[in-house]
């Protein structure tokens, strides 16, 4: 079995049941849509929400049409199709259309700048780029370069001249597809991750890994055909995708919500009768703050069916969950840990029965094994700190075209996570620190070297180090420690103005003017900076909250 078999089974078993719903609060009109917009429509239950939906049968047909369109253009087993889309109802049918051909799906972060898009396309050796309306400008900047050896496909209204129209390509294609010969061991997808060196690594996963992610999600959260999953995080991320796989394996409905305000989230849960919601820490914090201020009243919503709230992607303050359970005492709670290299969340999970252990990331997930080892690769005792290692069916095959990085990360079937951890006397795993310097802010990774390189181009900056500092809402924020050139003066306002050339999410939120310490080999002593300015207090603050 491969993962596309699950879609086909659902189309056969539940052809007329809704598979996906898209809600977009930014669109105020509920309009009758053409085939281009996916024709199965139900009017919005809320006047400020634009809503559309598709059944499992239509989902599968759309995937088949796109698979046929790709095959007609010579795309098949082993080719790579990059997907650069905001969350939308087309996202998953396109993803599965790619997989049906035997090609590899290559999701791209929607925050990538043009040079990052080009870099990832080249690194993955992508043959096709599928992109949406929001990315016309970025793709146009590099279109002359990237279109020389690949097909560009546009999803949306008003197709630009340098791309082919997705809807025109697929409208005449058959809604059935002669499946490719594939096995669980065949390559299925390339996801991107990165350490502190800046640009991402390409992570290669098999169909076996994706299928195991489905089984893991269903095992952890006991999803049934009657559950409704609210999906808010971006689908390019393994987190959102692999949590949705619980809906795929059970043939249950999922709601793709394009909006993160507290009212929007609670309204979607209420109107769509959602039972499972995966939140990032900032969104949960915002909901609690709105409830505390009286801006939201739980009595205004139908939330009785909401049974599970789970969080991942960043450290979770214990105080947040205690406050959450005061407002939602009947909720189950879980947290999940994983990496893109381990097919996303689920390699470690707390378990809904272990809410008393909030603060831990949990124990090995379904089908997974864990070890915590010292620098010599030997297991450490409970209470001792070491590097967390994972083994299981969801471990990546390799870093694509990077044997050196692969050899450093995969050893004897074990994935070295780069995260330092310890276990308590019950075997629950607690993260202690990260070997890597990646800053996780609001569930998104920031790469300090990229920001440092940018700030170094400022004529007044002699040296710079970017570190993560604890933040109650975002988990961490980026802080820039800047050493000014002798004889020069500089203000925080000047640095902030200079940073306007960066994407907003990459801009430092705190500026510290100080000497940047370096060791004898020239490396920045970031642990010293974190200790000095509060970064080392992150885990301690959470454990004591």
Host H or E run for residue 263: helix 262-272
Average pLDDT, the chain: 88
Burial profile 26-55: b = 16 or more Cβ within 10 angstroms, e = fewer: ebeebeeeeebbbebeeebebeebbbbbbb
Distance CA(127)–CA(191), nearest Å, equals: 15
pLDDT of residue 434: 63
Distance CA(535)–CA(528), nearest Å, equals: 9
**Poorest-confidence range of 1-5, 430-434, 448-452, 480-484?**
430-434
Whether residue 474 contacts residue 441, with contact meaning beta carbons closer than 8 Å, is answered with yes
Whether residue 81 contacts residue 126, with contact meaning beta carbons closer than 8 Å, is answered with yes
Residue 469 phi, psi (nearest 5): -120, 150
pLDDT of residue 315: 62
Question: In 19-113, which ranges are continuous DSSP H helix?
Answer: 56-72, 91-101
pLDDT of residue 521: 40
Distance CA(151)–CA(73), nearest Å, equals: 9
Q: What domains sit in the chain, N to C, each tagged with a CATH number?
A: 439-543 (3.30.300.30)
Burial profile 96-122: b = 16 or more Cβ within 10 angstroms, e = fewer: bbbbbbbbbbbbbbbebebebbbbbbe
CB atoms within 10 A of CB 519: 9
Q: How many percent of the chain have pLDDT more than 70?
A: 90
Whether residue 18 contacts residue 253, with contact meaning beta carbons closer than 8 Å, is answered with yes
pLDDT of residue 29: 44
- The answer for 29, left when phi > 0, alpha when psi is -120 to 50, beta otherwise, is beta
Assign 27 a pLDDT band (cuts: 50, 70, 90): low
Distance CA(79)–CA(476), nearest Å, equals: 38
Q: How many percent of the chain have pLDDT more than 90?
A: 66
**Poorest-confidence range of 41-45, 127-131, 264-268?**
41-45
> Which range has highest mean pLDDT (195-199, 308-312, 327-331, 336-340)?
327-331
- 279-307: pLDDT as tens digits: 987 788 889 989 988 999 999 999 999 99
- 419-459: pLDDT as tens digits: 888 899 999 998 875 666 778 888 777 877 778 878 988 98
Host H or E run for residue 327: helix 318-327
pLDDT of residue 469: 92
Beta bridge partners of 155: 132
The sheet carrying 228-231 orders its strands as 50-55, 18-24, 253-257, 228-231, 276-279, 308-312, 332-339, 344-349, 363-364
**Poorest-confidence range of 42-51, 142-151, 285-294?**
42-51
**Poorest-confidence range of 32-46, 362-376, 497-511?**
32-46
Assign 259 a pLDDT band (cuts: 50, 70, 90): confident
Q: Which has more pLDDT, 295 or 544? A: 295
Assign 536 a pLDDT band (cuts: 50, 70, 90): very low
Give pTM, 2 decimals.
0.81
Q: Which pair of tokens denotes residue 246?
A: 């619980």
Over residues 181-202, mean pLDDT: 82
CA dihedral 401→406→410→416, nearest 10 degrees, is -130
Q: Which of 300, 302, 296, 320 is nearest to 310 (CA)?
A: 320
**Poorest-confidence range of 33-42, 108-117, 223-232, 253-262?**
33-42
Over residues 508-518, mean pLDDT: 91
pLDDT of residue 49: 61
Name 294's Cβ contacts closer than 8 Å, sequence gap at least 6: none
Pairing assessment for the beta strands 439-441 and 444-446 based on DSSP bridges: antiparallel
pLDDT at 82 over 70: yes
Helix, strand, coil % over all residues of the chain, rounded to 5: 35, 25, 40
pLDDT at 33 over 60: no
pLDDT at 158 over 80: yes
Distance CA(40)–CA(93), nearest Å, equals: 14
pLDDT of residue 528: 86
Assign 66 a pLDDT band (cuts: 50, 70, 90): very high
Distance CA(277)–CA(265), nearest Å, equals: 9
Over residues 302-318, mean pLDDT: 84
Over residues 349-359, mean pLDDT: 89
Assign 194 a pLDDT band (cuts: 50, 70, 90): low
pLDDT at 544 over 50: no
pLDDT at 247 over 60: yes
pLDDT at 198 over 80: no
Q: Which of 348, 344, 353 is nearest to 371 (CA)?
A: 348
Q: Euclidean distance between the first and final Cα of the chain, in Å?
A: 46
Distance CA(228)–CA(236), nearest Å, equals: 20
Pairing assessment for the beta strands 332-339 and 308-312 based on DSSP bridges: parallel
Q: Which has more pLDDT, 281 or 347? A: 347
Assign 274 a pLDDT band (cuts: 50, 70, 90): very high
């Amino acid at each position: 079995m491969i993962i596309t078999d699950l879609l086909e089974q659902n189309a056969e078993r539940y052809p007329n049941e809704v598979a996906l719903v898209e809600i977009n609060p930014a669109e105020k009109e509920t309009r009758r849509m053409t085939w281009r917009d996916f024709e199965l429509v139900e009017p919005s239950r809320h006047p400020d929400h634009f809503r559309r939906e598709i059944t499992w049968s239509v989902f599968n047909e759309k995937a088949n049409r796109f698979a046929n369109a790709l095959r007609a253009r010579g795309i098949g087993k082993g080719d790579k199709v990059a997907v650069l889309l905001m969350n939308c109802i087309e996202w998953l049918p396109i993803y599965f259309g790619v997989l049906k051909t035997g090609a590899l799906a290559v999701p791209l972060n929607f925050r990538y700048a043009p040079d990052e898009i080009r870099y990832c396309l080249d690194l993955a050796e992508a043959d096709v780029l599928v992109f949406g309306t929001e990315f016309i400008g970025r793709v146009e900047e590099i279109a002359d370069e990237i279109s020389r050896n690949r097909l560009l496909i546009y999803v949306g209204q008003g197709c630009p001249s340098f791309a082919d129209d997705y809807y025109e390509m697929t409208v005449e294609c058959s809604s059935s597809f002669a499946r490719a010969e594939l096995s669980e061991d065949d390559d299925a997808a390339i996801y991107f991750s990165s350490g502190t060196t800046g640009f991402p690594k390409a992570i290669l996963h098999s169909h076996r890994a994706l299928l195991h992610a489905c089984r893991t999600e269903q095992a952890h959260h006991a999803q049934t055909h009657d559950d409704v999953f609210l999906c808010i995080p971006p689908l390019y991320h393994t987190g959102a995708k692999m949590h949705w796989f619980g809906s795929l394996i059970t043939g249950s409905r999922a709601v793709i919500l394009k909006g993160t305000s507290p009212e929007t989230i609670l309204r979607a849960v209420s109107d769509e009768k959602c039972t499972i919601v995966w939140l990032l820490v900032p969104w949960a914090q915002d909901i609690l703050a709105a409830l505390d201020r009286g801006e939201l009243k739980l009595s205004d919503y139908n939330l009785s069916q909401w049974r599970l709230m789970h969080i991942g992607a960043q450290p979770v303050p214990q105080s947040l969950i205690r406050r959450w359970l005061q407002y939602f005492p009947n909720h189950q709670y879980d947290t999940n840990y994983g990496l893109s290299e381990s097919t996303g969340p689920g390699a470690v999970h707390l378990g809904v029965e272990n809410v008393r252990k909030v603060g831990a990331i949990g124990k090995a997930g379904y089908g997974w094994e864990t070890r915590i080892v010292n620098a010599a690769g030997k297991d450490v005792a409970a209470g001792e700190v070491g590097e967390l290692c994972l083994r299981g069916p969801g471990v990546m095959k390799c870093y694509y075209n990077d044997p050196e990085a692969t050899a450093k990360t995969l050893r004897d079937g074990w994935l070295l996570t780069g995260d330092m951890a310890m276990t308590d006397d019950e075997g629950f795993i607690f993260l202690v620190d990260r070997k890597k310097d990646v800053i996780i802010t609001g569930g998104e990774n920031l790469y300090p070297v990229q920001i440092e390189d940018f700030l170094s181009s400022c004529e007044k900056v002699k040296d710079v180090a970017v570190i993560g500092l604890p933040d109650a809402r975002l988990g961490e924020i980026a802080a820039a420690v800047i050493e000014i050139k002798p004889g020069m003066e500089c203000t925080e306002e000047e640095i902030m103005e200079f940073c306007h050339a960066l994407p907003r999410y990459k801009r430092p939120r705190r500026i510290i003017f100080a000497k940047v310490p370096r060791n004898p080999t020239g490396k920045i002593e970031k642990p010293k900076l974190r200790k000095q300015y509060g970064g080392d207090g992150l885990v301690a603050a959470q454990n004591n909250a």
